[in-house]
Amino acid sequence: MLTPEQQARQKRLEISLERRRLDEAYDLRRIGANEEFARWREENSDFTSGELIEAWKGIRRAWGLMPEQKPRKPRREKNAGVH
């Protein structure tokens, strides 16, 4: 049986190990995304800055490094309903 102090220490160690695993997983995803982006740039040598930004966003989303894109709400017209 562990004392309360030992239990607290054990819990801190478990949290630390889990954080390391998450950091390692993030690093692997980041490396994979960077490699995929480098391949995209080689395959698409004649790109515009907009295409470059959209490709980078798409790759980061696919690798779970960026939140999914939220659907845009339709814009309200400035004088809607005013006649």
pTM: 0.61
Q: Residue 5: pLDDT above 70?
A: yes
For residue 26, pLDDT beyond 80: yes
- Residues 28-69 have pLDDT tens digits of 999 999 999 999 999 998 989 999 999 999 999 999 888 877
Q: What is the arithmetic mean of pLDDT over 9-22?
A: 81
Terminal-to-terminal C-alpha distance of the chain = 78
The 8-class DSSP code of residue 18 comes to H
What is the band of 80 on the pLDDT scale with cuts at 50, 70, 90? low
| CA distance linking residue 26 with residue 56, whole number of Å | 17
